Amino acid sequence: MKESIRLGTVKGIRIGMHWSLLVILWLLVASLAGYQFPRAAPGHASAAYWLAAAVATVAFYASLVAHELAHALVARRRHIEVDGIVLWLLGGMSKLRGDANSASDEQRISIVGPATSAVLALAFFVLSRVVGAGHPASLAAAVL
């Protein structure tokens, strides 16, 4: 899958997105702001729900980039060329050239992405508890 929009570069790894991601971004923000957040924490201004939804959506995709970047960085350390990362409708993909040299390398490359996601999930959980229930920032953190 090719990127339609270039987002930037991290440690020499190009990060881009496919146009299909824009559809999901809008649907995610709209469903969080229009349905999920008002029911989870009633009584806030509409703008607070939209802001929390936008923050949650951006943080979600930043987490996805972190997950894919972890795969890509470990692959590069294992001497596999990385063409970049593409975010798209159903998630993200690290574009690697070639295969791992050993089962051990393959295992490391495979595990580091979910491990990164688990650490981020724990951090967002702690953030949601520190901020307190019902606060718009807590809503955004709880969704993640």
- For the residues 70-94, what does the mean pLDDT come to? 92
Determine the average pLDDT of the residues in 73-95: 91
AA letter at 63: S
What mean pLDDT is predicted for residues 91-98? Answer: 88
Mean pLDDT of 14-25: 92
User: Residue 29 is encoded by which pair of tokens?
Assistant: 């923000």
What pLDDT, on the 0 to 100 scale, is given for residue 126? 85
pLDDT of residue 140: 64
Q: Is the pLDDT of residue 5 over 60?
A: yes
Environment class of 105 (CB within 10 Å of its CB; exposed 0-12, middle 13-18, buried 19+): middle
Q: Looking at the annotation, which residues are catalytic?
A: 68
pLDDT tens digits along 25-61: 999 999 999 999 898 888 888 998 999 899 889 989 9
Question: Which residue bears the tokens 């201004």?
Answer: 45
- pLDDT at position 74 over 80: yes
Query: How far, in Å, are 25, 76, 86, 134, 138 from residue 29 at the CA level?
Result: 6, 34, 20, 18, 16
- Among 18-22, 32-36, 98-102, 118-122, the range scoring the smallest mean pLDDT is 98-102
